[in-house]
Amino acid sequence: MKRKGIVLALAVVAAGGVQAQDQDRSGDSELTLAEVDALTHRLDMMPEIYGQLGLVMEHRDTENTAVSRNRGTAGSKTAFRDSNSWIGLRNRTELMPGTEGFFRAEWTSIPSADEDSDRMFDEHVEYAYIGLEGDFGRIWGGVDDTVYEQQLDHVANFFEGEYRHEDGIYPATGENAERHLFGPYTTGRDRLVQYTTPSWGDFRMHAAVQLNEDGNPEVGSGSGEEKESRPYQAVLSYTPGNWEWALGMDSNDGGGDTVQEMDNENTYGGRMTYEGERWHFTAQYQHRKDIASVAALLTSYRIGPNRFSISWERERDELEPETETTNAYTAQVLHDLTESMAVYVEGYKASSNEQTPDRSDLMVGARYRF
């Protein structure tokens, strides 16, 4: 919502109402400037409401190799469904000269894929954090994308068709699975404390630590018990002109039962992005020893209200004995009808070796943001 416009309108209406009341009492009184400022300040402290309504007609095709590994029902399906709608609250206010406090809370229509995750909040909460920002930088805590994901995993978060509904894929009841290939890092987005430094020329440092459950200090025993761990991330970003470069690592020290959760090998990644007036280009690469490597390229071109985008993603899963390579291709044409509303056509294809079914999708959708 355009809060400044709402604040001004309400201030004018309130001023007119008070003036009318004062005129009834004294014949000729006006709302003082101090009273208008006080009203404006109180209204400005109210949180901003924002959100997105997304709908899509989606045709999904899964090849027959899925049946042998319970990786989804083979065949084709067409469905009219939600496409990641969400609503949120956010605000920031000056606490003292040079220091602002801020918060954000956002609820999504897409629940967490991990039904057993012990989250701080309900699984439909996408973001919930509070923090401070000033000359010292920015520090915040709660539920958020990690600084590693924000700086190094741009391609997987770029397109509209983020999730794919596949009966029996993961979890077994049939939930929304991530369509794109995220990097091989396991530090979660819950119970985070994160920090970004002020800019040193064109450089910034970003850091995060996840505060997992207190308990036995041993990590990764595979017993399924709650373990204490402090996985952390560190990222260096450099933004000269239209270019942006980032290098980072994730310690992956969280305890758990899966091979990826128990393996403490670091994940290392790099990204290069060019953002011009019309052209956008991103190249990124991430690697985790004996686990996986993920590479991705994205380019888009904007002319007027139209944006044309295409990407290639490649994941080399190195876990034995199911070593495999997956290639995913996405193409999108997006048209902005207004500042708030857009329509798009998006095509997606993912192919692997015989262990995973090939998947082909066509989506026609619309989104409205406010």
* Each residue's pLDDT tens digit, 267-314: 999 999 999 999 999 999 999 998 999 999 999 999 999 999 999 999
Half-sphere exposure of 64 (CA within 13 A, CB side): 0
Q: Could you write out the DSSP letters of every residue in 199-217?
A: PBTTEEEEEEEE----SBS
In this predicted structure, which of 11-25, 75-89, 262-276 has the lowest mean pLDDT?
11-25
pLDDT band at residue 170 using 50, 70 and 90 as cut-offs: very low
SS3 for 25?
A: helix
Name the more confident of 210 and 321: 210
Residues 12-36: what's their mean pLDDT?
57
Please give the Cα distance from 340 to 348 (Å, whole number): 25
pLDDT band at residue 175 using 50, 70 and 90 as cut-offs: low
Domains of the chain: residue spans and CATH: 1-46 (no CATH), 47-369 (2.40.160.10)
Strand extents, DSSP E, 211-351 = 232-238, 243-250, 267-275, 279-288, 292-303, 306-317, 324-336, 341-351
* pLDDT at position 117: 43
* Each residue's pLDDT tens digit, 194-229: 999 999 999 999 999 999 865 544 444 445 555 678
22 Cβ contact partners less than 8 Å away, ≥ 6 residues apart: 29, 30, 31
* pLDDT at position 69: 47
* pLDDT at position 256: 62
> What tokens appear for 53 in the block?
């309504």
